[in-house]
Homo-oligomer: A and B are copies of this chain.
Amino acid sequence: MSASDLEANLDLDATDINPDVDLKIKNIDLSVVLESRAPLRWGICATGLIAHDFVASLVGHEHQHEVVAVASRSLDRARKFADEFKIDTAYGSYEELAKDPKIDIVYVASINTQHRKHCLLFIEHKKHVLCEKPMALTVRDAQEILRSAKQHDVFFMEGMWTAFFPACEKIREIITSGQLGDVRALLANFGQNISHVERISKKDLGGGGLYDLGGYLVYWAIMVFGRAPVSSYTHGFLNTDGVDETYTTTMLYLGGAIATLTCSTKANYQNDVTIVGTKGRIRIPNNLWHPSSFEWINDEEESTFFEFTYPLSDQSYQFGKEWSAMFYEAEAARQAIARGMKEHPLMSWKSSQLMARLLEDARRDLRVKWNDEDLP
């Protein structure tokens, strides 16, 4: 199959997600016992804070998930990580991890600028991949990874954990059931005072708010509208290193709906989401990236509150106890793989392509260029 055939099959230029398919599917049903006889066997690529919390979220689910090996550029770091979680194998290179026949799927948790290289490495070794978001810093890299996943016939998913929270499942239910009426507006705000963190401030490290906080905002737009906007504009400020610090993206959708996404790495916002429909609105009051509650307000301004719990866990977490909810995305990946799927409908390849394109559009408006060849 030629590259251009693959490209056609991937619908790389198609931007519509089908809401009838993508939004109506329940994300995970933990009560279903799948037929796969063995747990999903994980390899862990990199040993940073998020890898720690991901593995912690799997502990206690031995029947479904087994962490088989962990790799780092430093064997010492890998060993230390393996010891903490009683993982059998530690590797001092990612190539060794890629070659390990005991591994079904690799969780890629390296720094954003390394995602392309690591995803391609594992995919080419026929491993399934769950890659921390953002899967890539450019549309071109995202498409290259997806083409490779298609070519090697492996499961690939961008790790947008937000998609798999029970709160989001209930919200999608309210939207798709018609209870909300036609969606007229999405207002999503995410600001955290993190501009001093090197990973955020430095262009060399893929910095800026866009590919960190901004991805969550764009995911909400994809989840709510299930398609690409007809028009998008981003207005904001860059820092002295040339990456974004504060911005607002406005996206217009067919039918007269609007999404307004505000982002800042300079101040702590409320981190809330409002989805406004013709019959009422949904308010996620905070924590839009790991929502545990929301309010449904009908046209008579009557409120109903919904509250959800995170998965119980006796582990300690680097980013906070709510990160036990990373289990949801791992379990979603397992269930999709057990069914023979190559992508998960709630974070499909099309969704990832759309995410990459919307972030790149914003980057173009803001004039954030990774290098001289980028965004000619």
| Residues of A in contact with B (beta carbons under 8 Å apart) | 184-185, 187, 189, 191, 193, 231, 233, 235-237, 245-248, 250, 252, 256-258, 260, 262, 264, 266-270, 274, 276-278, 281, 283, 299
Roughly how many angstroms separate A257 CA and B270 CA in the complex, as a whole number? 16
A267 lies within 8 A of B260 (CB): no
Given A268-B299, A278-B267, the answer on whether A187 and B235 have CB atoms closer than 8 Å is no
* Cα distance A252–B247 in the bound complex, in angstroms: 9
Contact at A268–B256, with CB atoms within 8 Å?
A: no
Contact call A185/B236, Cβ cutoff below 8 A:
no
* A258 in complex: contacting residue of B185, B248, B252, B299, CB < 8 Å: B248
For the complex, give the distance between the alpha carbons of A250 and B260 in Å. Answer: 10
* B187 and A269 contact, CB distance less than 8 A: yes
- Nearest chain B CB to A152's CB is how many angstroms away? 41
Find A267's partner among B184, B189, B246 (CB 8 Å cutoff).
Answer: B184
Distance, CA A266 to CA B189, complexed state (A): 21
Cα A248 to Cα B248 with chains together (Å): 9
CB distance from A247 to the nearest CB of B (A): 7
Docked Cα-Cα span, A342 to B356, in Å, equals: 55
CB distance from A285 to the nearest CB of B (A): 10
Tell me if A281 and B258 are in contact (CB < 8 A): no
Distance A281 CA – B269 CA, assembled complex (angstroms)? 8
**Can you pick out 15 interface pairs between chain A and chain B where the beta carbons lie within 8 Å of each other?**
A184-B246, A184-B266, A185-B269, A193-B278, A233-B235, A235-B250, A237-B258, A245-B256, A248-B260, A250-B250, A260-B262, A267-B277, A267-B281, A268-B281, A269-B274
Q: How far is the CA of A283 from the CA of B236 in the complex (A)?
A: 22
Besides A184-B191, A246-B258, A267-B278, 5 new A-B residue pairs in contact (Cβ under 8 A), listed by A number: A185-B264, A233-B233, A260-B262, A267-B277, A268-B276
Residues of B within 8 A of A184 (CB): 191, 246, 264, 266-267
- Chain B positions within 8 Å of A267 at CB level: 184-185, 276-278, 281
- Known contacts being A187-B189, A250-B250, is A256 close to B237, with CB within 8 Å? yes
Task: Indicate which residue in B237, B260, B270 contacts A274 across the interface (CB closer than 8 Å).
Answer: B270
In angstroms, Cα B279 to Cα A267, docked, is 9
3 closest A-B pairs by beta carbon, nearest first, are A184-B267, A235-B250, A248-B250
